[in-house]
Amino acid sequence: MNKTTRLSRRDFIKLSTNVLFGLSGLLGLSGLIRYFSYLPATETPTEFDLGDVASYPIGSRTVRSDIPAVIYNRQGEILAYSLVCTHLGCTIENNDNGFACPCHGSQFDRDGVVLEGPAQKPLKRLRVEVLENNMLRLYTG
């Protein structure tokens, strides 16, 4: 008889109950995580109509603070950059060199290149399409 390797009846029941409690706890936790995992459908618009191409003459620089984005016309080519700071998401503001973030002081030049941190990444370039009727559409997505 080798008694030491065998689990006593009392210990077995104790262990079983603990395992069951643990499992029920995990089950409850998984339910809670599932409950919190719901992500509502996003309502944030990702397409913006910018109006007629003609309202962006060559050499112009237009800030649309509602998007927020800046739209350039460089020799007939329409460029757009997001004005959301790549550091922590504040909306950046115009200054002499280009743009500066009011929250943590990042600086960007007119083409979105980082001049001064803490931001690491350049401003996001946004896609602009010219539709058939010469209207512009901006995509932030």
Partner 1 sequence: MPRYRVFIVISILAFGVIFSSSVFVGASASSQAITLSQVTPTFDISRLNQPPTVIPPAQADNGAQVYWGMCMPCHGDHGQGLTEEWRDSFPPDKRDCWQSGCHGSDHPKNSFEIPTTGAPALSGAGALSRFSNSFELNHHIQQNMPLFPTGSLTSEEAWSLTAYILRMNDRQPNGFTLSEVNGSAIPVHQKVKSPQSTIPGLLTLIGILILTAIGLELQPKFDHTKPNFFHHLHPPSIPAKQSRFRYTLGAGGMAVFLSVILLVTGLLEMYYYIPTSDQAAISVETIVSLVPLGNLIRNLHYWSAQFLVIVMTIHLLRVALTGAYAPPRRFNHVLGLGLLVFTLLLDFTGYVLRWDEGIRWALVVGANLIKTIPWIGAGLYQFVIGGSEPGNATLTRFYTWHIFGLTLGEAILIVWHIFRVRRDGGISVPPPVERIEKDRITRFELLKREVLVMIIVGIILLLFSMIVPAPIKQPISDTTALTGNSRAPWFFLWVQQLLKFGDPFLLGILTPVLVVIALGVMPYLLPNANCAELGRWFPRGNRIAQILTVLLFLVILVLTFLGAISQ
Which residues contact partner 1 by CB under 8 A? 36-37, 39-40, 42-44, 65-66, 68, 87-91, 93, 102-105, 117-118
Beta bridge partners of 114: 108
Least distance from partner 1 to the Cβ atom of residue 44, Å: 6
Which region holds residue 36: left if phi is over 0, alpha if psi is between -120 and 50, else beta? alpha
Report the C-alpha gap between 101 and 90 in whole angstroms.
7
Output the CA torsion sign for 129, 131, 135, 139: negative
CB of 23 to partner 1, least distance (A): 23
Would you say 31 or 105 has its CB closer to partner 1? Answer: 105
Give the shortest CB-77-to-partner 1 separation in angstroms: 28
